[in-house]
A and B are shown apart, each in its own frame.
Chain A
Amino acid sequence: MKEKESNVVTTIREILSDAKLSRRSFVKGSAVTGTAMGLGFGWKPTLRALAQASAPLSDGMGEWMPATCQGCTSWCSKQVYVVDGRAVKIRGNPHSKVNMGAACVRSHLSLQQVYDPDRIKTPMKRTNPKKGRQEDPKFVPISWDEALNTIADKIMELRKNHETHKYMLMRGRYSYMRDVLYDRMTKIIGSPNNISHSALCAEAEKFGPYYTEAIWSYRQYDVLNAHYILLWGADPLAANRQVSYYSKVWGDVVDKATIAIVEPRLSASAGKADEWLPIKPGQDGALAVAISHVLLTEGLWYKPFVGDFKDGKNLFISGQMVDEEAFEELHTNGIIKYWNLELKDKTPEWAAEITGIPVEQIRRVAIGYGKAAPHAISWLGGGPCMQVRGGYSAMAVHALNGIVGAVDNVGGTLKANKEYTGKFPKPDDFMDDIAKKGKKHKKIDQRGRLQFPCLKKGKSGGGVITNNAADGILKDDPNEIKVAIGYMNNFSFSAPQPERWERALSKIPFLVHITTNASEFSWFSDIVLPDTHHMFEKWGYVKAMGNGYRHVTLMQPIIKKVWDYKIDETEIPWLIAEKLAERGFDNLLRHYKTYKDPETGKAPTNEKEFALYALKYVTQNLWDPAKYKGGDKFNGWEEFRKVGVWNSDPYPFRKRWGKMKTKTGKFEFYSETLKEALEKHAKKHDTTVDEVMKATNYLARGETAFIPHYEEPFILGEEKEFPFIHVDHKSRLNREGRSANCSWYYDFKDLDPGEEVWDDVAKINPIDAGKLGIKSGDRIKLASPTGSLICTAKLWEGVRPGTVAKCYGQGHWAYGRLASKIFGKVPRGGSSNDLIPAQYEALSGSSAYYAVTRIKIEKV
């Protein structure tokens, strides 16, 4: 696609000076004309178009309208420049205190998404009854009426046969209007099977902070007041969260703080870091406990938070046990147990060999980090924890914040601020006996079984294990699924080992997909419904935090809708509810009619009113001055709608010290909270915690199960056959795997360090490539024990020898004309998920993406 340019400058050295030409000869030389001879003429400028082109000065043709970007889970508040109903440009919403008017690079790609010619413009149905990857569904357009009638008939059939638990709802990208479709509709129909995508996202990342300080959530970081920032597999300048905010302030952050980044690949953030620690994949836990070891032996823990030895003498000496009585602990629980059970022998020397990081660097980083206490952030990304044995690494990495007192502190790690949105009306009164009975069945993802504790917020089976739902469907275990709806999800692309989903979806007799593009999931669907684009065409809201604030930002229909899309979370369920009512089951519609407009008290009479009233209903506390509870104040709905974002009050630092929601009320190094959760889960299965550890593939036995600790990674594949460890990472241009049909994605792909435009590359260290005789540009096949992909080799120094780094995002075989090479048949590039086996961090339910498989490289 790229035209040949003259005078292409390719290296920084080349552009900073030009030794070949002196100033005199160059400026003189530029006036002559003979140099162009070699170019050849024959180009006749097209001047006709120009004559009509000079229009009068076009000033202020458009208006900046409020919007929300969900290109990643930063969930920034944005503004869209709308000209004659057309979206033309994107910028950050200056009213947000979270992203402060900044817009990251991926936000601009939303323009190519909303006007993607390959979006489906009308409902369609498959006419080929056979389902499979090789079966063309032979989609034909149908009316909304026909589509909705068919869906309602299928649901009514389940109700008639008292098998509503065979209905399933799969959720992908959502707004907080989700409960209308995800929760209320599923419950009122009568099924337990609402399955979210969350465990493909980051549940293991929430495990660390939950079992230390009882927050099941991402954190925000007070970067502007930090003196040391230790990033673990997090790339805040490229991948979520709060990319816009961190991009805005990073130039100031680096002035004040030392930045160290632990990651096997040189990421975008590593480019601006003081220290790069290119760790061997999967060994993050070893590094975290070794750093903890140094912090304690060097006396660098933060005494006002953790406490101190009673006689003031540091008894943390390598290899030696410490008497618990000798230490007076303040706002933490179990520092001595942590030392005795895990840390005392975990020296930098021990870790150096395991991690591949030199002893001096481990010590230097640990001491620098400790000296910065309490303004020292240990920033947990997905990398160290979305691994088979990543749960305890998540704890070990997050526990560093506890040791240096950065928890809830200035320059430290913070939870979300308070916000005041409400809830939708309860469904209970609208659930009849069929529904109540149906809902009592077990969920299709098998959460809560012995090998799948999914301990969200301390509860056995409290969280989802998304990717395992495919196996549940395939084995009819706990039951078969007959009717399913998925919205803005694409599990047959976005989940590891997606071939399982291809078979599972093919098996479901009636599958509906609500989506913008005909994706790899749509391919197996019976009916596909055209969805609105969240940023421009939908009513909704999301909450996000950053910069010490939380915002609630609105999604609104702000452009002219070009085709016949409808809103996934509100309009479509309303329309289904109408159809169900026509068939004698009006419970859902009656329920939805209780979502009244708070301004007029009117019940909704159609899908459009419903979408708007539902939003006004749940956000009333934010915009109705009579209900004001805190944060930004508005004089009514209209004002809120125009500004588009509500900001919380500023962060109340150190308010949670001693009052955490853990079992002890303290920050737990010895997690009584986890102990209780594991014991309850063991009891449920009439067994011991040790057996739970065994069933979940963990090596810990005894008390170690309740503290952060190092576990040897569980990586599939024999080194002899599969010499490399696969390193998966994200692109700063990814919009959650949905930007692959945008030409800007390819034209600018080299904005990711090491990547190439219009290509999909596997980044290989030149030492490894040399041994295999592979050069940049060679076509290669990467194969793991569970799958393979074909892409291009790229030799790059930014990857650890012994690993291969491959970016997620390409490799679609559907989705659109650019995303795939031949729609429905041949992928463009290769999808990492075809290499990654379906493995889990089972304590959280998280799919494992990192340090989970070995691969081999073959030339093709």
Chain B
Amino acid sequence: MPRYAMVIDLQRCVGCGSCSISCRNENNVTEGIYWSHKITETSGKFPNVRYHYIPTLCNHCTNAPCVRGCPTEAMHKLENGITMHDPKKCIGCRYCMINCPYGVIYFNWKDAHPSWRAGNSVIKEVTASPAEEVRKVGGKGTPYYNPERDATLPGIRPKGVVEKCTFCDHRVKRGKLPRCVEACPADARIFGDLDDPESQVNQLLGKFRPFRLKEALGTEPAVFYIRDFSSAGYPRTKGGI
């Protein structure tokens, strides 16, 4: 059984967020919930300023605090290393959210895709209502609903349960890369098997000094980062007194 991991090459990353929007799309994630997300920072003072971007997602920790804290085993580890959630077992207690040090688990406070439920139209008889559009197109929740998500998890998660990134387990199961990896225009995400010494993931982990988020906590994330978002050069200097 493989043990999946992701390497994010920050130098290749251009901070565009294609990962996040394509994830929304693939997993039919509702507004305001970000399975794939980022942290940005503008550092320095004008004119010595730079913008930095770190993509984030569920780290699929080996030592997952969300799993340990779940009273119903809804949050669980798959053999392939993916941290998976079973909404059927979820009681909505949100311990996992409290325990996750990365803030990547979200709670469905309301029914998904609220804006698509509206029944009013902007111009009477000339434009449709969102609900009518979904019906007429034949989607579910949204007109561009992805039915393939439904293979291993409800295509749209109901109110009252948590949800988060699953490393696109439904795709991985069919031998396909997670959607964020496929969709990254910069090829900044590299996915593969940690147990295969020849995998591209291991090749990169051997070449660079990778880092993981909040490593000191001992969660053993399966998401590794290499290189820097900014690879700026600067004039040689020893500084001064």
Residues of A at the B interface (CB closer than 8 Å) are 1-3, 5-13, 15-19, 21-24, 26-27, 29-33, 35-36, 39, 41, 43-50, 53-59, 61-62, 83-92, 102-105, 108-109, 111-112, 115-122, 124, 139-141, 237-238, 244, 247-248, 250-251, 254-255, 258, 266, 268, 270-276, 278, 364, 518, 560, 562-563, 732, 743-744, 747-748, 750-751, 753-754, 765, 767, 796-801, 816-818, 823
Q: Complex: how many Å from CA A61 to CA B155? A: 14
Most B C-beta atoms less than 10 A away, residue of A18, A141, A247: A247
Closest 7 CB pairs of A and B: A30-B65, A251-B12, A115-B143, A271-B51, A23-B218, A45-B160, A102-B185
**Cβ contact within 8 Å between B122 and A15:** no
How far is B44's CA from A578's CA once the two chains are assembled, in angstroms?
A: 65
Bound Cα distance from A92 to B16, whole angstroms? 15
**A8 touches which one: B42, B103, B133 (CB < 8 A)?**
B103
Pick the contact of B16: A36, A140, A237 (CB < 8 A): A237
**B155 — which chain A residues lie within 8 A by C-beta?**
53
Does A518 contact B126, Cβ atoms closer than 8 Å?
Answer: yes
| B204-217 contact mask (Cβ, 8 Å, vs A): 1 or 0 | 00000001011111
B235: Cβ under 8 A from any A Cβ: yes
B54-A12 in contact (CB<8A) = yes
Asked if residues A36 and B14 are in contact (CB atoms below 8 Å), the reply is no
**A50, B88: Cβ atoms closer than 8 Å:** yes
Q: A121-B126, A121-B127 are in contact. Are A39 and B151 (CB under 8 A)?
A: no
In the bound assembly, the distance between CA atoms of A268 and B234 in angstroms comes to 19
Min CB–CB distance A118 → chain B (angstroms): 5
8 A Cβ contacts from B1-45 to A: 9, 11-18, 20-22, 24-26, 31-33, 38-42, 44-45
CB distance from A1 to the nearest CB of B (A): 5
B194, CB-defined interface residue at 8 Å:
no
- Assuming the A-B contacts A12-B41, A247-B16, are A115 and B126 also in contact, with contact meaning beta carbons closer than 8 angstroms in the complex? no
Interface status of B80 (Cβ within 8 A of chain A): no
Task: Please tell me if the beta carbons of B125 and A140 are within 8 angstroms of each other in the complex.
Answer: yes
With A3-B33, A743-B115, A753-B40 given, can you name 13 additional A-B contacts, CB distance below 8 Å? A27-B217, A30-B69, A39-B94, A47-B158, A59-B151, A115-B133, A117-B122, A117-B127, A247-B14, A250-B14, A271-B229, A278-B46, A823-B122
Interface of A is mostly: loop
- Is B188 in the interface zone, CB < 8 Å from A? yes
On whether the beta carbons of B11 and A254 are closer than 8 Å, the reply is yes
Which of B54, B69, B217 is most buried by chain A, counting CB atoms within 10 A of its CB?
B217
Q: How far is the CA of A574 from the CA of B214 in the complex (A)?
A: 63
Given contacts A49-B158, A61-B147, A272-B229, contact A11 B41 (CB under 8 A): yes
Contact in complex: B123, A276 (CB < 8 Å)? no
Contacts of B87 in A (CB 8 A): 45, 47, 50
Known A12-B39, A26-B65, A798-B42; judge A271-B53 contact (CB<8 A): yes
- Pairwise interchain contact A732-B217, C-beta atoms closer than 8 A: no
Do A753 and B102 touch across chains, with their CB atoms under 8 A apart?
Answer: no
User: For B18, what are the chain A residues with a Cβ–Cβ distance below 8 Å?
Assistant: 103-105, 108
* B122 / chain A contacts, CB cutoff of 8 Å: 117-118, 518, 816-817, 823
**Alpha-carbon gap, A251 to B174, bound state (A):** 30
What residue in chain B is nearest A16 (Cβ atoms)? B213
- Inter-subunit contact A61/B42 (CB<8 Å): no
Residue of A nearest to B233 (CB): A274
Q: Are B14 and A562 in contact (CB under 8 A)?
A: no
Q: Which residue of B lies closest to A8 (CB)?
A: B103
Closest CB of chain B to A96's CB: distance in Å? 13
Q: Measured between C-beta atoms, what is the minimum distance from A848 to chain B in Å?
A: 25
Say whether B21 contacts A748, CB under 8 Å: yes
| Contact between A270 and B154, CB atoms less than 8 A apart | no
Determine which of A1, A26, A119, A767 lies in contact with B127 in the assembled complex, contact meaning CB atoms within 8 Å.
A119
The distance in angstroms between the C-alpha atoms of A224 and B24, with both chains bound, is 32
A7 touches B126 (CB 8 A): no
Instruction: Verify B17–A748 contact, CB threshold 8 A.
Output: yes
Complex CA–CA separation, A24 to B66 (angstroms): 16
Cα A117 to Cα B122 in complex, Å, equals 9
Chain A's nearest CB lies how many Å from the CB of B75? 11
B15 and A271 within 8 A (CB): yes
A835 to B109, CA, bound (A): 40
Interface contact A17-B49, CB-CB below 8 Å: no
Cβ A7 vs Cβ B137 within 8 A:
no
CA distance A799 to B46 in the complex (A): 7
Complex Cα gap A560–B136 (Å): 10
Please tell me if the beta carbons of B42 and A753 are within 8 angstroms of each other in the complex.
yes
User: Across the interface, do B41 and A22 meet the contact criterion of CB distance under 8 Å?
Assistant: no
- Measured in the bound complex, the distance between the Cα atoms of B100 and A742 in whole Å is 31
Is the CB–CB distance between A800 and B125 below 8 Å? no
By the criterion CB–CB under 8 Å, are A15 and B150 in contact?
no
- Is there contact, CB below 8 Å, between B127 and A743? no
B83 at interface by CB-CB < 8 Å? no
- A88: chain B residues at CB < 8 Å are 25, 144-147
Say how far B150's CB is from chain A's closest CB, in angstroms.
5
Q: Which residue of A lies closest to B97 (CB)?
A: A6
Chain B interface size, as a band, is 35 or more
Interface-central residue, B22, B33, B51, B145, by most chain A CB under 10 Å: B51
A228 to B130, CA, bound (A): 49
**Residue of B with least CB distance to A99:** B185
A255 touching B231 by the CB < 8 A rule?
yes
Give bound CA distance, A120 to B123, whole Å: 8
Confirm or deny: B132 has a beta carbon within 8 angstroms of a beta carbon on chain A: yes
Q: What is the bound-complex CA distance between A506 and B86, given in angstroms?
A: 58
Contacts A7-B100, A26-B218 given; indicate if A89 touches B146 (C-beta within 8 A): yes
Are the C-beta atoms of B54 and A53 separated by less than 8 Å?
no
B241 adjacent to chain A (CB < 8 Å): no
* Interface set, chain B 118-171, CB cutoff 8 A to A: 118, 121-123, 125-130, 132-133, 136-139, 142-148, 150-152, 154-155, 158-161, 170
On whether the beta carbons of A53 and B21 are closer than 8 Å, the reply is no
- A-B CB contact pairs (8 Å), 16 listed: A3-B33, A5-B97, A7-B101, A17-B216, A24-B218, A30-B65, A36-B94, A39-B94, A46-B159, A88-B147, A115-B142, A119-B128, A248-B187, A258-B233, A270-B51, A753-B40
Complex: how many Å from CA A271 to CA B53? Answer: 9
Quick one: which of B68-122 are within 8 Å of A by CB? Answer: 68-69, 71, 87-88, 90-95, 97-103, 106-107, 109, 115, 118, 121-122
Check if B21 sits within 8 Å of A109, measured CB to CB. Answer: yes
Please name all residues of chain B whose beta carbon is closer than 8 Å to the beta carbon of A49 when the two chains form the complex: 154, 158
In the complex, are the beta carbons of A744 and B32 less than 8 A apart? no
A90 contacts across to B, CB distance below 8 A: 22
Cβ-defined contact, B16 with A104, below 8 A: yes
Complex formed: what's the CA distance from A559 to B100 in Å?
42
Does B183 contact A103, Cβ atoms closer than 8 Å? yes
User: Which chain A positions have C-beta within 8 A of B40?
Assistant: 750, 753
CB of A50 within 8 A of CB of B154, answer yes
What string of 1s and 0s marks CB contacts (under 8 Å) between B176-200 and chain A? 0001001101111000000000000
In the complex the two chains form, what is the Cα distance from A6 to B24 in whole Å? Answer: 20
Determine if B216 and A91 form an interchain contact, defined as CB atoms under 8 angstroms apart: no
**In this complex, which of B16, B185, B187, B231 has the most chain A Cβ atoms within 10 angstroms of its Cβ?**
B185
Residues of B within 8 A of A765 (CB): 46
Instruction: Give the residue of B22, B38, B211 whose beta carbon is less than 8 angstroms from that of A89.
Output: B22
| Cα A743 to Cα B142 with chains together (Å) | 12
Q: In the complex, what's the smallest C-beta–C-beta distance from B148 to chain A, in angstroms?
A: 5
Instruction: Tell me which residues across on chain A come within 8 A of B33, comparing CB atoms.
Output: 3
CA distance A18 to B216 in the complex (A): 7
Partner of A21, one of B92, B144, B217: B217
Q: Kindly list chain A residues whose C-beta atoms are within 8 Å of the C-beta of B203.
A: none
Is the pair A117, B133 in contact by a Cβ cutoff of 8 Å?
Answer: yes
Contacts of B214 in A (CB 8 A): 15-18
**A111:B12 contact, CB within 8 angstroms:** no
B239 contacts the other chain (CB 8 A): no
The answer, yes or no, to whether B202 is at the interface (CB within 8 Å) is: no
Contact in complex: A57, B173 (CB < 8 Å): yes
Q: How far, in Å, is B53 (CB) from chain A's closest CB?
A: 7
Q: Assess whether A89 is in contact with B69, with CB atoms less than 8 Å apart.
A: no
Residues of B within 8 A of A796 (CB): 42
Given contacts A27-B65, A86-B143, A562-B133, contact A800 B47 (CB under 8 A): yes
